[in-house]
Amino acid sequence: MNKLTPQMSQYERTLDQIVQATGDGKSHRDDPRALNIKMKPNQVYAVIAQDDDRYFRTVSIKQNDFTNGFSLMVSNPVYGSVPEGIQIIAQHSVFKQMREMNAFQSLEAFPFKGRDGR
């Protein structure tokens, strides 16, 4: 006798959907917005200009050894389509990640460790 309460029945359906998910991030998504992409240091990404979608900029994050933080490298606007192999990322995602990456830099009493790291 396998009687389930309505809550347990819903829980079982939810678990079944999780098991059936393909893992591509799109199969069970109704939201048309792009997923948040975590930028990796030293990798080049493209950001489509918000005022004119015929232009894009390339962005990359580089580690700054003097401050133990990160710097955002941004190109001049480029006319045309994004070259094959460069991933497009939303502008708000770039700014959000830069805020997150540099958030704890200012909490250190002495962020510059010197040449030998002490």
Q: Could you tell me if 32 and 19 are in contact, meaning their C-beta atoms sit under 8 angstroms apart?
A: no
- Tens of pLDDT, residues 76-104: 999 999 999 999 998 888 888 888 876 55
d(CA 62, CA 34): 24
Residue 97: its pLDDT value, please? 85
What 3-state class would DSSP assign to 15?
Answer: helix
Give CA–CA dist 102/106, Å, rounded: 8
User: pTM of the prediction?
Assistant: 0.58
Among 77, 20, 21, which Cα is nearest to 46's? 77
